[in-house]
Amino acid sequence: MTVCWIALAALVIYLFWRFPQLRKTWYLPKRHGFVALMYHHVGVLQDPQEEQFPFTVRPEMLERQILFLKANGYYPLSLAELENARKTGKSTVQKPVMLTFDDGYEDNYTALFPLVQKYQIPVLIFLITDRIGTPGYLTWDQILHMQASGLVAFGSHSCSHRRLRSLSDEEIAQEITRSKQILEERLGHAVTAFCYPFGAGGFDKRVRPQVFKAGYLLDFSTKKGVNPWPWKGKSTLRRAFPRGGETLFDYHLQLTRGMSKL
Ligand SMILES: [Zn+2]
């Protein structure tokens, strides 16, 4: 009997190794809740071997994803709506999702913003304050133009995008509070959302309390999954990660399982 189980396990491992499509999450149970989607670049990369390929969603694919959300009854939340749900512990929104973009790349203005305006869809962009206005990243003019639309909100992704848990307490506080101050000065209002550089590996029990001590209300990680809804802020927010090159079926898996593959 034991031999049978070992043979079966070996067969399953072989099949998973041989056929990558089996590693998709379609056989996991559906999860209901709040899905925060993590994007980075919006643009066109041809070579799947390029380092940024998984982090780059084509504009036409992003448009299809937005249409998929609309067609399937998903509700794209604004940051203000998420804050309100956290504050009150209540929401009547069904199937809430949030589109978040890390690092503040310039293509968020040139390729994402036209779609935001076309579909009037709210998004949240996490900025690395040291990189604003440097080549390839958003400028303050672009940031303020997007903010003026009322559709684009901004959060902090630290000052320098270093792995916070590898820094001293003083350096961590500096990364978290200084970036907040810089953004608040230029944006003209409180900045309430923080996103850890390097996501799941970027924070620990030492880092997270500092985020809330600095006055943030929401912290986003790269831990995969679906969040409870209404969100009460007991842990860091998980995010699903739609990669460049994925299909709409993968997107469906991201939205219903919090991940498209294991
Ligand atoms: Zn980042």
Are 79 and 97 contacting, i.e. CB atoms less than 8 angstroms apart?
no
How far apart are alpha carbons 24 and 258 in whole angstroms?
A: 11
| Distance from Cα 106 to the centre of ligand 1, integer Å | 14
Tell me which fold the domain 28-257 belongs to.
TIM Barrel (3.20.20)
Are 94 and 81 contacting, i.e. CB atoms less than 8 angstroms apart?
no
| Distance from Cα 90 to the centre of ligand 1, integer Å | 30
Are 39 and 195 contacting, i.e. CB atoms less than 8 angstroms apart?
no
Write out pLDDT tens, residues 56-114: 999 999 999 999 999 999 999 999 999 999 999 999 999 999 999 999 999 999 999 99
Q: In 3-state terms, what secondary structure has residue 101?
A: strand
pLDDT band at 23 (very low <50, low <70, confident <90, very high): confident
| Distance from Cα 221 to the centre of ligand 1, integer Å | 10
Cis peptide before 242 (omega within 30 of 0): no
Average pLDDT, the chain: 93
For the chain, percent of residues with pLDDT exceeding 70? 98
Q: Domain boundaries in the chain?
A: 28-257
pLDDT confidence of residue 131? 98
| Distance from Cα 189 to the centre of ligand 1, integer Å | 23
| Distance from Cα 124 to the centre of ligand 1, integer Å | 13
CB neighbours of residue 213 within 10 Å: 11
How far apart are alpha carbons 80 and 85 in whole angstroms?
A: 9
State phi, psi for 183 to the nearest 5 degrees: -65, -40
Write out pLDDT tens, residues 110-139: 999 999 999 999 999 999 999 999 999 999
pLDDT confidence of residue 134? 98
How far apart are alpha carbons 13 and 260 in whole angstroms?
A: 19
Are 232 and 39 contacting, i.e. CB atoms less than 8 angstroms apart?
no
